[in-house]
Each structure stands twice: as structure tokens, then as C-alpha cells.
Structure 1
Amino acid sequence: MTGERAAELEELGIVWDTADHGFETNLGAARAYYELHGTLAAPRGATILDIAIGQWLTNIRRPGGLGKDQGRARRRAAALAAIVPDWNPGERGWTVDWQRHYAYLAQLLAEGARMTAVVPGVTRHGEDVGRWLATQRRNWDRLNAEQQQRLGELGVKKAPRARRAPAKTAAAFPGAARGQRGLPERP
């Protein structure tokens, strides 16, 4: 068959490679999800345009998920990276959940929210960004350097260490030495 004839058939809707066609359909849904959420860090159950986009993204992030053919896999990865470079957060050393919350925090701040106002209970797309932020600040030393840098660029800082109350001593409780804590002293 000539290239001209093949092009005519393609114009009529003939699909030569169903795998590529399916990928392109899902890629269109990924673009729509990104337009709505500003990230491809979709939860596994997310759907858009009647496509289970969260499950599809989970599947393609797995080793070999973009296909066995290395050339095809590179082209597909490039198409996803053209939507957002962080489409596969595992390659950066953090989870999809972390990426999604980070993106939502960045959006809240870009829309004018003050960092001090992002407290537990502040949500975006049903995700508690305030609680996540408090956890990041508290567990700062567990984050990798790039996570700390990205959060720092948004103005997030490590939570100050909580002051410990001085330990109570036996002398603070009259009669404690005799095992009578809280009981009045014997005359």
C-alpha cells in the first residue's frame, strides 16, 4: 500500500496501532486532568472524561508501563513531560500523594493565600493541604534535599522544635518519697 493511500485511510479513521491510539486517548484525558488540577499526581480512583485517569497514570508509572519498545516508551514519556515534567514523582524520590499536595499548596499560595492561613482543615480538591503542610514542617528532616528546596521556595520552613516542659521532681509533690503523691502530709 502506498503512503498516500494509507494517509487517505487514516483520514477516514483507520487506526493502525490500537496501543498508540489508546495511549493518545488517555493522554488527552491527562491533559484535561492537568488543566483542572494543575498536576498529574492523580489519586488512583480519579476519573475524567469517563477515563480512569488515576489508574492509567499508576499503571504507566510502573517499570515497563510505557511499553516494551524503548523508542515508543521514550516518546510517551516525552509526551507526558510536555504536560508537566513531574508526571512521575517516583523518579524524583517522593510519592504521588506528596506531589499532589505540593501542587495544591503552590496553587493556594499563587491565588493569594497566606502561608499562615494554610492550617489543618484548609483543603483543595478535597485534600487537606493544611494538615499535609504541618506534617512536612514537622518532619522536615525526613524530606529529601529537593523536597526541602521546593518547599523552601514556597516559603515553607521547618517547624521549630517544641520546648519540653521541665520534668517534675519528687520534691514537687509533698510526701512523694513515701508514695503518697497528692495526699496531705501526715502530722
Structure 2
Amino acid sequence: MVPARILAGAPLVLAILALSGCSSWGCTDTTVERGKAAVKVRIVDLYGQSDGATAEVVDWRLTPDPQARHKGDEINFHYRFDHVHTYSGPAVDACAVDDKRKALGCQTIYAPDGSPPGAPITGDDWLYTKHPEQVTGVLLIPNDQSYDRRTCDQDPKDGGGPHPPKPASIGDQL
């Protein structure tokens, strides 16, 4: 039998634990749904809002990577970010897709830091796939991947909230 004195103090102990961050009862994580992939996308934050920033695949081609010519053709693509309003720019996933819009290879591309706010930002990158001959396009996913909020598992006191969708992987339908 538990003494009444201990039972009377239990609510106080639970309140102290909750306030100190030792309880994850109020911490919840949610993963945002992946936006529709396209050649040009309006970048959206974790709440589905856009500040007008866009990302676009300007062109792409199959060509050997000069650093690894022995591997044969890979996908070299050029991109452009417009209307980025911060010095620390957004990031979006870029995916090489086949004629059914299935991802053959993906990676995250970042608007470089230090660009003047609002100025167009251009760059190029490589996508590597097992079968580059099956690639019919390169698409971008509009969800900003640059925000890395701590999860409830990592920080039950301050973590939680919305998180970007998991990056697209090979075989995902875009």
C-alpha cells in the first residue's frame, strides 16, 4: 500500500518533470507532405507558404563527368533560384526521372549563401543514376529542405513541430 503522503505529492512531481523538459507528452513531430515536382517550382516552407522564391531546371544533358569520364554519361543540369530573400538560401530536391516520372536519382541542391537578396542565383550540378539512358527529365520538389528542426527524440523539451518531407529516393513516383 502506498502512503497517502506520497500520493499527494505525485501531481507536484509530475508537474516539475513536465516543466523541466523531462516529459515528452506535449512534443509532437509531423512530416510535411511532399509537393508536386516540376521543372519550375515555387519554393514553400514547412507551413506550405511561399515568399515568392522559385527554383527552375534551366537545362540538362547526358555527358561524361570530367572528374570520372570512365563511368560514362551522367546527368549534368543547370538550375536557377529567383527571388530568394535571405543570405542563407533555400534548398530543394532535384531528381532525374524516367518517362513515367519515377525517380532514378535525387539530391538536394542549395541556393548558395552570400548572394544578394532577390538576385538570381545560377549553378549546375550532377545527378548519378544506374541507367542514365532512361532519364527523360530533371524535376525539382518545391519543399524547402534547408530547415533542420530538432525532433522530439533529439530534444523532447524544444524539439518537435513540422519537418520537411523525406527526400525522394529511387523509384518514388513524382
Greater length-normalized contact order (CA 8 Å, ≥ 6 residues apart): 2
**Rg (Cα) greater in structure:** 1
TM-score (norm 1): 0.23
TM-score (norm 2): 0.25
Whose helix proportion is higher, 1 or 2?
A: 1
